[in-house]
Amino acid sequence: MTSRDPWWANAVCYQVYVRSFADSNGDGIGDLEGLRSRLGYLELLGVQALWLTPFYRSPMADHGYDVADPRDVDPVFGDLAAFDAVIADAHECGMKIIVDVVPNHSSDQHEWFQAALAAEPGSPERARYVFADGEGDEPPNNWPSIFGGPAWTQVPDGQWYLHLFAPEQPDLNWANPEISEDLAKTLRFWLDRGVDGFRIDVAHGMAKPDGLPSIPADELKQFSELLAAPEHDPRFDADGVHDIHRMIRSVVDEYPDKLALGEIWVRDADRFAMYLRPDELHQAFYFGLTEAVYDADEIREAITSGLQAAESVGSHSTWTLSNHDVVREVTRYGDGELGTRRARAMALVELALPGAVYIYNGEELGLPNVDLPDEVLQDPTWERSGHTERGRDGCRVPVPWEGNEPPFGFSTAEDTWLPMPPEWRELCVEKQLEDPGSMLSLYRSAIDLRQKNPAFTGNTVEWFAGPAGCFAFRRPGGLICALNTSGAPVPLPPGDLLLASGPLAEDGYLPTDTAAWLA
Ligand code: NOJ
Ligand code: CA
């Protein structure tokens, strides 16, 4: 870290899925006042910034990613005064606030979409969205929606509108200057209220390719994956998107020291890096570690590619093991004790890296995904896929704070918006704070060292040769991080041990599924 680095360059940021963090009024749904009441915990954890998922006016077809008014707070989450109080208190605790914006689509209940439905084909109201004529009962092209089913819905006069996500999320027409003017207004609205940055939803969407070409029929099968766009996906990453990011950047730069961070599900490293050019986004979520299986070679490859992409355009890397859209890493890595041991190791890998780290709420508690019964599922994917894809609810179960039974201090209501498993009594914040061997204690120690120890400096990593299934890298400041994904203990690189994700083996060997920091 140099004094010239912006605040986000190496920050540890914490994603608050507002709906699942803390409920202040007993309706079983997390809210802004609940978050405010728990800021002390986040300060204790040691994070430097919070990313808040959408709390804007919304009918909640996609839990807030369907925005009906981007410049107001939904009553479920509170009001503008509650938001102002969160930001004031967070700043008081030295934490920055990043808020989500959702420029690819609006809610179908947004006044613009309601006006578009009431207006004629070809009208200025329809021109704010992507309306098109189909061929009889066939939609304008064969694009599937990310949540399953077609990406087009027909309206009574026969036209179709595009929705890359749920039908309740009509895509905005970014060829229409009114759309960018409105986003600029939204950005300034929240900047004037003191936010420190934006997480831009589907930042590889928005621009649409000329002529909206169909996907070649023989490729359609790979397009059913949630969020991650296959290569040459005409729905995403159109060249025109970069002008939109230049516009966003110019507005954000009207205010000093503010962050534009994009959600970019683009796997091609060169195309990903284009979003990080000096006049576009400051940072983008890089999902290499989210997608890598638990294997040293694959993880190393993901790290190298993430570092290179950012470096190639003079930007700073980001790392993330999970978020509200993916299976939690404890479960991805094998669940139970095994998954937890591996998740502990990966926490040390991630927190050893140069760049920003984004932690998803509950990750620091080692929460697994929850197998929820069919009748409580709420993610639109469940219905849209004809009950073949369960969707993302399993990673969105509310955070357990204290006590011995659900709702574990998350709420005073017994019925939380998703049920909390009784076994989570072992994972509550209160229990883990007292236990030096807990996941939470590991995160606290790791974040503290990362902030204070001069070994964590320099933007590059140098790899050591090591046994198969293992890796070790060194940062210029002197930190060494070693990971063992092989089946047997291996010798540690030389250095003084700073922290390990689990007990070391005899003779100081690094056991399987363990990571260690040395300096
Ligand atoms: C990405 C968000 O993270 C996800 O939760 C949402 O469903 C889609 N964008 C659509 O807004
Ligand atoms: Ca509530």
491 vs 466, residue with greater confidence: 491
Ligand 1 atom 4: residue of nearest CA:
325
- Note whether 13 and 358 are within 8 A (CB): yes
Tell me how far apart the alpha carbons of residues 103 and 70 are, in angstroms, rounded to a whole number: 10
Which residues on neighbouring strands pair with residue 132, listed in sequence order?
Answer: 160
How close is the Cα of 24 to the center of ligand 2, in Å? 5
Tell me how far apart the alpha carbons of residues 268 and 172 are, in angstroms, rounded to a whole number: 25
Tell me how far apart the alpha carbons of residues 18 and 406 are, in angstroms, rounded to a whole number: 18
- Cα–Cα distances in angstroms (integers) from residue 184 to residues 54, 58, 251, 358, in the given order: 17, 20, 6, 26
Ligand 1 atom 11: residue of nearest CA:
65
Backbone phi and psi for residue 237, each to the nearest 5 degrees, phi listed first: 60, 35
Per-residue pLDDT tens digits for 218-261: 888 777 666 556 778 999 999 999 999 999 999 999 999 999 99
Say how many C-beta atoms besides its own lie within 10 A of residue 387's C-beta. Answer: 12
**Mean pLDDT (the chain, rounded):** 96
**Helices 177-192 & 241-252, crossing angle to 10 degrees?**
30
294 lines ligand 1 (CB under 6 A): no
- Note whether 497 and 505 are within 8 A (CB): no
Tell me how far apart the alpha carbons of residues 362 and 381 are, in angstroms, rounded to a whole number: 23
Ligand 1 atom 2: residue of nearest CA:
201
Q: Is the pLDDT of residue 125 over 70?
A: yes
- Note whether 130 and 153 are within 8 A (CB): no
**Which residue is associated with the tokens 């009962």?**
137
Tell me how far apart the alpha carbons of residues 204 and 303 are, in angstroms, rounded to a whole number: 21
- Cα–Cα distances in angstroms (integers) from residue 491 to residues 35, 133, 347, 352, 471, in the given order: 44, 66, 21, 19, 11
By three-state DSSP, how is residue 197 classified? strand
**Helices 296-312 & 336-352, crossing angle to 10 degrees?**
30
Q: Which pLDDT band, with edges at 50, 70 and 90, does 166 fall under?
A: very high
pLDDT at position 136:
84
Catalytic residue positions, numbered: 201, 254
201 lines ligand 1 (CB under 6 A): yes
- Note whether 367 and 17 are within 8 A (CB): no
Per-residue pLDDT tens digits for 294-322: 999 999 999 999 999 999 999 999 999 99
Neighbours of ion ligand 2 (CB under 5 A): 23, 25, 27, 29, 31
Residue type, 318: T
285 lines ligand 1 (CB under 6 A): no
Atom number in ligand 1 closest to CA 62: 7
* Ligand found nearest the CA of 378: 1
* Ligand found nearest the CA of 201: 1
168 lines ligand 1 (CB under 6 A): no
φ/ψ region of 305 (left if φ > 0, alpha if ψ in -120 to 50, else beta) reads alpha
Torsion (CA) 500, 50, 100, 329 in degrees, nearest 10: 20
Q: Which pLDDT band, with edges at 50, 70 and 90, does 433 fall under?
A: very high
- Note whether 292 and 333 are within 8 A (CB): no
102 lines ligand 1 (CB under 6 A): yes
Residues 355-373: what's their mean pLDDT?
98
DSSP H helical segments within 282-321, as ranges? 288-291, 296-312
Q: Is the pLDDT of residue 130 over 80?
A: yes
Closest C-alpha to 32, from 44, 18, 45: 18
* Residue range 12-103+175-207+241-369+387-447, CATH number: 3.20.20.80
Ligand 1 atom 3: residue of nearest CA:
325
How close is the Cα of 20 to the center of ligand 2, in Å? 9
Q: Is the peptide bond before 407 cis (omega within 30 degrees of 0)?
A: yes
Q: Is the pLDDT of residue 1 over 80?
A: no
What token pair was written down for 4?
Answer: 């010239």
Q: Is the pLDDT of residue 367 over 80?
A: yes
Work out the percent of the chain whose per-residue pLDDT is above 70: 98
How close is the Cα of 467 to the center of ligand 1, in Å? 40
Q: In what order do the strands lie in the sheet with 462-464?
A: 462-464, 470-474, 480-484, 514-518, 497-500
Residues 473-490: what's their mean pLDDT?
98
8 lines ligand 1 (CB under 6 A): no
Per-residue pLDDT tens digits for 146-157: 998 999 999 999
Tell me how far apart the alpha carbons of residues 480 and 229 are, in angstroms, rounded to a whole number: 34
Ligand 1 atom 10: residue of nearest CA:
65
How close is the Cα of 83 to the center of ligand 2, in Å? 14
User: For the ranges 176-190, 219-233, 262-276, 480-494, which has the lowest average pLDDT?
Assistant: 219-233
How close is the Cα of 55 to the center of ligand 2, in Å? 12
202 lines ligand 1 (CB under 6 A): yes
Closest C-alpha to 98, from 29, 7, 2, 227: 7
417 lines ligand 1 (CB under 6 A): no
Ligand 1 atom 5: residue of nearest CA:
325
List the helix and strand counts (H, then E) for the chain: 14, 18
pLDDT at position 230:
72
65 lines ligand 1 (CB under 6 A): yes
165 lines ligand 1 (CB under 6 A): yes
265 lines ligand 1 (CB under 6 A): no
How close is the Cα of 96 to the center of ligand 1, in Å? 22
Cα atoms in the 13 Å half-sphere on the side-chain side of 513: 13
Residues 319-332: what's their mean pLDDT?
98
Residue type, 392: R
Atom number in ligand 1 closest to CA 202: 9
* Ligand found nearest the CA of 33: 2
How close is the Cα of 295 to the center of ligand 2, in Å? 40
- Note whether 30 and 21 are within 8 A (CB): yes
Class of domain 111-162 (CATH, top level): alpha beta
Domain regions of the chain by residue span: 12-103+175-207+241-369+387-447, 111-162, 456-518
What token pair was written down for 25?
Answer: 């009024």
* Residue range 456-518, CATH number: 2.60.40.1180
Question: Sign of the CA dihedral 409, 415, 420, 425?
Answer: positive
Q: Which of 19, 65, 383 has most ligand 1 atoms within 8 Å of CB, for mutation?
A: 65
Per-residue pLDDT tens digits for 59-85: 999 999 999 999 999 999 999 999 999
How close is the Cα of 30 to the center of ligand 2, in Å? 5
Report the first-to-last Cα separation within the chain, whole angstroms: 17
Q: Which of 202, 264, 379 has most ligand 1 atoms within 8 Å of CB, for mutation?
A: 202
What token pair was written down for 351?
Answer: 């927190």
Atom number in ligand 1 closest to CA 165: 10
325 lines ligand 1 (CB under 6 A): yes
* Ligand found nearest the CA of 147: 1
Residues 480-485: what's their mean pLDDT?
98
Tell me how far apart the alpha carbons of residues 314 and 304 are, in angstroms, rounded to a whole number: 15
Q: Which pLDDT band, with edges at 50, 70 and 90, does 2 fall under?
A: low
